[in-house]
Amino acid sequence: MDKKRLYHILEWIVALVACGWLLWKIATYEDYAALLATLRSMTWPQCLALLVCVGLMPVNMTLEAWRWRTLMNSGNEDKMTWREAHRQVYYSKLAGLITPWRLGEYPARGVLSAESGKDVWTRVLSMGVAGSVTMTTAIVIAGVAGLVFSPGIFNRLGGSYLYSVGVVAVVLAALFLLMPKILKRYVAISQGLLLQSVGQSLVRLVCWCVQLCLVIMALGPMESLGFTGDLFCKTAVYYLLVTVTPNVPIVEVGVRGAWAIVVFGTMNAALAGVLLWIINTLLPFLVWFVIRKK
């Protein structure tokens, strides 16, 4: 069996496993009654907020393709096209669904790169490490800023999570300083490129936060949950807490829902966390099939 056929088989195995996992999550979700009741009671402005959130999904994925293409094209003569960047991002989303902490995303991109005849496994995995560090750095920066401007959340958190944030911040700072030296054997990467990737990650994080604000506004009374600075800061804190909480795909939805209740203080926020997970997970899965067919 040639390598290209093997990579095609691996690609479809990942897709089918991800499809089965999504179907299982949808079939075992227990709060459909509350979700459907909330959706039925939505007004037109709330429906519009939800539609805008759905419309931002491809924007979110494009921002990730932009970030990934920047990393892969740095110091590389064989430039990645926008089409290939989008293809890898959408497909790796599937692999991330079925692996703890989404660790399968970058190996999946390596599979797609190798499929096209490019021996770039080392580069993909090295840049994958850099991408994970810079995205987490952006989440920590924004989350800590959100905590500063939303002091009420401190009273709802146990000290262990604040310590966890501190530990993650220290580890990230060390990796940020040492990564160019650690990876120089495999790929040339500068701290300037890392800073650029952090900036791009912050832009993508802003898109996530806007999406979550829109879903919360759609599921809650519009007059009491308008788009405010406080709501935006809380979304940054929410993503920080989700990131520093160890989880595996089987419990991810529950973790997101639980932290949404803690941060926002309403049951509708838990539904918002679940609904946004569906928008940013299930829809890209369907888009991947369209891309793959073409």
Mean pLDDT of 280-290: 76
Length of the chain equals 294
Residues 236 and 208: their CA atoms lie apart, in Å, by 9
What pLDDT is stored for residue 27 in this prediction? 66
Whether 89 shows a pLDDT value over 50: the answer reads yes
Model confidence band, residue 105 (pLDDT cutoffs 50, 70, 90): confident
Dump pLDDT digits (tens) for 26-38.
666 666 676 677 7
What pLDDT is stored for residue 225 in this prediction? 46
In a domain, 136, yes or no: yes
CA dihedral 254, 260, 265, 271 (to 10 degrees): -70
Of 264, 230, 259, nearest to 242 (Cα)?
Answer: 259
How many domains does the structure of the chain reveal?
Answer: 1
In a domain, 19, yes or no: no
Distances (CA, A) of 118 to 51, 95, 163: 39, 20, 43
Residues 158 and 58: their CA atoms lie apart, in Å, by 36
Contact between 34 and 267 (Cβ < 8 Å): yes
Residues 165 and 163: their CA atoms lie apart, in Å, by 5
What pLDDT is stored for residue 186 in this prediction? 78
Mean pLDDT of 34-50: 79
Dump pLDDT digits (tens) for 169-193.
888 888 888 888 888 777 888 889 9
Chain centre to alpha carbon of residue 166: 21
Sign of dihedral through CA atoms 241, 242, 243, 246? Answer: positive
Model confidence band, residue 223 (pLDDT cutoffs 50, 70, 90): very low
170 versus 164: the higher-pLDDT residue is 170
Which of the residue ranges 105-109, 140-144, 145-149, 198-202 has the most confident prediction, judged by mean pLDDT? Answer: 198-202
Whether 64 shows a pLDDT value over 90: the answer reads yes
According to the 3-state scheme, what is the secondary structure of 245-266? CCCCHHHHHHHHHHHHHHHHCC
Whether 262 shows a pLDDT value over 60: the answer reads yes
In a domain, 94, yes or no: no
Tokens of 104: 């399968």
In a domain, 8, yes or no: no
In a domain, 113, yes or no: no
Taking the model in full, what pTM does it have?
0.82
CA dihedral 71, 73, 79, 84 (to 10 degrees): 10
270 versus 91: the higher-pLDDT residue is 91
What residue numbers bound the domain in which 187 lies?
A: 44-81+125-293
34 versus 279: the higher-pLDDT residue is 279
In a domain, 33, yes or no: no
Residues 212 and 54: their CA atoms lie apart, in Å, by 11
In a domain, 200, yes or no: yes
Mean pLDDT of the chain: 79
248 versus 76: the higher-pLDDT residue is 76
In a domain, 11, yes or no: no
Model confidence band, residue 110 (pLDDT cutoffs 50, 70, 90): confident
67 versus 24: the higher-pLDDT residue is 67
